[in-house]
Amino acid sequence: MSDRVLVVTDDIFELSTISAALKLHGTNVVGEARKAAAAISLQRSLQPNVLLIDMHVNGEDSITVATAIRKENPLIGIILLVACADFRLLGQSQTEIPAGTKVIIKSTISNIASLCEIISESRIFASDTPITWIHGNVVLDQISKEHLMSKLTNIQIDTLRMVADGLTNAEIGRMRFVSEKAIEQIISRISQVINVQPDRSKNMRVQLVGEYFKWIGAPRH
């Protein structure tokens, strides 16, 4: 059976680039989608056997979409493209990733030919096949230790995500049932951990949000 790939990403530039590159290397890309509903509809009509997915920008996440598609098509291979190894930054949990999924940190993709090989390999899995991280010879624990974000607690990560969503300290405090002062202290600690130094010429929240979007791989084009 040949590869029939459905490419799903909410970044239109990334979608067109990856799909075009895969096609040039002989991979049969049968469909492209930027939204969950479109991806599920294409899966039903085109019957792909591999899902290549990266969604983290527009309010829909890769794991939820991949899980929904795997539920409808238990035999589909899944490749999850991610910007970082810490799923907490995206408000997701690694434990929710479908069995047999191959997870690739995008910055480690050396060439499209290697991605094509991974696509073909992704179709071979069983219900108990573990998740495979594709990152050369570097194991997940080492990857996580490579960046400062891994040193943040779950509460700090959640608070940073709320700051990135534009919530004020008062709004975050109300959601967490704590004082505004407590949120200020959490944010101060976050800035210390990820080494964002106080600077009168720069807004601290803007700097923190910039660091957050850098780590989740938000598009810069």
**Domain end point (choices 145, 162, 182):** 145
User: Which of the pair, 56 or 96, is modelled with greater confidence?
Assistant: 96
On whether both 42 and 85 belong to a single domain, the answer is yes
> What contacts 99, CB < 8 A, 6 or more positions away?
125, 126, 127, 128, 129, 130, 131
Of 10-24, 93-107, 160-174, 175-189, minimum mean pLDDT range = 93-107
Half-sphere exposure at residue 175, Cβ-oriented, CA atoms within 13 angstroms = 12
Q: Angle, nearest 10°, between helix axes 36-46 and 62-72?
A: 30
Reading the block at residue 181, the tokens are: 């002062």
Identify the pLDDT of residue 163.
92
- Kindly state whether residue 220 falls inside one of the protein's structural domains: no
Quick check: pTM over 0.85?
no
Q: Could you tell me if 82 and 109 are in contact, meaning their C-beta atoms sit under 8 angstroms apart?
A: no
What was the pLDDT predicted at 57?
Answer: 65
Out of 124, 145, 166, pick the residue that ends a domain: 145
Q: In angstroms, rounded to a whole number, what is the distance separating the alpha carbons of residues 212 and 194?
A: 10
| Total of domains in the chain | 2
Same domain assignment for residues 129 and 65: yes
Q: Lowest-pLDDT range, 18-22, 51-55, 82-86, 187-191?
A: 82-86
Q: List Cβ neighbours of 206 (8 Å cut-off, separation of 6 or more).
A: none
Place of tokens 């990820």: 194
For the stretch 66-87, pLDDT in tens is 999 999 999 999 999 987 777 7
- With beta carbons less than 8 A apart as the criterion, state whether 83 and 55 touch: no
Q: What is the span of the domain harbouring residue 79?
A: 5-145
In sequence order, what E strands does the chain have? Answer: 5-9, 29-33, 50-54, 77-82, 102-105, 132-134
Distance CA 1, CA 153 (A): 45
Residue 182 scores a pLDDT above 90: yes
Question: Mean per-residue pLDDT for 52-56?
Answer: 88
> Of 38-42, 120-124, 147-151, 156-160, which range is least confident?
147-151
Q: Does the pLDDT of residue 221 top 50, yes or no?
A: no
The per-residue pLDDT of the chain, averaged, comes to 85
Same domain, 203 and 124: no
Which of 33-42, 49-58, 105-114: highest mean pLDDT?
Answer: 33-42
Q: The domain that contains 47 carries what CATH number?
A: 3.40.50.2300
pLDDT at 147: 60
Residue 137 has what pLDDT?
Answer: 47
Both 133 and 40 in one domain: the answer is yes
DSSP one-letter string for 121-183: HTT---TTPPPEEEBTB--HHHHHHTSGGGGS-HHHHHHHHHHHTT--HHHHHHHHTS-HHHH
- What pLDDT, on a 0 to 100 scale, did the predictor assign at position 217? 64
Span of 77-81, 98-102, 199-203 with lowest mean pLDDT:
199-203
> For the range 14-21, what are the long-range contacts, defined as Cβ-Cβ under 8 Å and sequence gap of 24 or more?
14/54, 14/219, 18/52, 21/112
User: Which of 129, 145, 161 is the C-terminal boundary of a domain?
Assistant: 145
As given in the structure block, the two tokens for residue 82 are: 């991610």
**Could you give the 3-state DSSP secondary structure of residue 99?**
coil
